[in-house]
Amino acid sequence: MAKDNLVSIQISAEDQDAIRAALVTLEEKLQPFLIALTKDEKKGIPKMRDKSIPFVDKAIEYAETNSGFVPSYLNVPEMKVDFQAVSLLTEFYRKVENLNTTLNDTILLSGSEAYKGALQFYKAVKQAAGAGIPGAQVIYDDLKQRFERTTTAATTDPPAEG
């Protein structure tokens, strides 16, 4: 059986400001180097995946030591700069991706806990309204709008908790 309160987050105002500042700094520092591609542009370019990394690394090494085989139109120093950028940006990406994953999971869990609490309150208010307790009907009528269907006049209550 799952525990009811797995997350309880209260971030101080000072930490909130520091996090926002760090995110702004991250965006400001990376943005000048980042490029947005369209779907068509992404489709039309060859992609370097994990298996290609050693190939590209070896090709650069060979090109640097065997200049006689390098075509005149190939800029080996620029190829090396691009390859180094992939390595560095991938390092950043993995850290950001991990942060993104854990942020999403934490948002999901926090939202789930808040929604379960709201459903419990809604159920209690519904019972109170059914019992004629003063003030409950107004709250119930307001909250039940969440579960009303717009395509039909019928209303549905939330699924029963189990």
- What pLDDT was estimated at residue 5? 86
Share of the chain above pLDDT 90, in %: 86
Q: What is the pTM of this model?
A: 0.75
- Crossing angle (nearest 10°) for helices 136-143 and 76-130: 150
The predicted model gives 62-71 an average pLDDT of 97
Cβ partners under 8 Å of residue 119, min gap 6:
158, 161
- DSSP for 80-125, please give it: HHHHHHHHHHHHHHHHHHHHHHHHHHHHHHHHHHHHHHHHHHHHHH
